[in-house]
Amino acid sequence: DIQMTQSPSSLSASVGDRITITCRASQNIGNHLNWFRQKPGEGPKLLIYAASTLQTGVPSRFSGNGSGTEFTLSIIRVQPEDFATYFCQQSYSISPITFGQGTRLEIK
């Protein structure tokens, strides 16, 4: 299995801050990396796919970068609705598809 490791596991920020979350893959996955936001009680929402492509309808304050084994998700000017948990997911190998363990963004 391809292991996905996110860091940090949690972080605190204020509205308007810029934050960055890192996701590392246990092997080269090219750009086959997706990012999701999950609010409590809801299903995950796709934010970024193919490492850096913004999903339709997602605000431009979200951006993704990276390739190979190291990837980042950045949010500039964090908004109140962004306080949630973020997951990365590799789509390079389907056997199996794997997710990172999540990063919880909390209000400072």
Residue 44 sits in the site that holds another protein (CB under 8 A)? yes
Nearest to 10 by CA among 103, 87, 108: 103
Distance CA 24, CA 28 (A): 10
User: Residue 101: CB partners within 8 Å, gap ≥ 6?
Assistant: 4, 5, 6, 9
Question: Which H/E stretch holds residue 84?
Answer: none
Q: How far is the CB of 102 from another protein (least distance, A)?
A: 5
Q: How far is the CB of 60 from another protein (least distance, A)?
A: 18
Decide whether 74 or 101 has the Cβ nearer to another protein.
101
Residue 102 sits in the site that holds another protein (CB under 8 A)? yes
Residues that bind another protein (CB under 8 A): 31-32, 34, 36, 41-46, 49-50, 53, 55, 87, 89, 91, 94-102
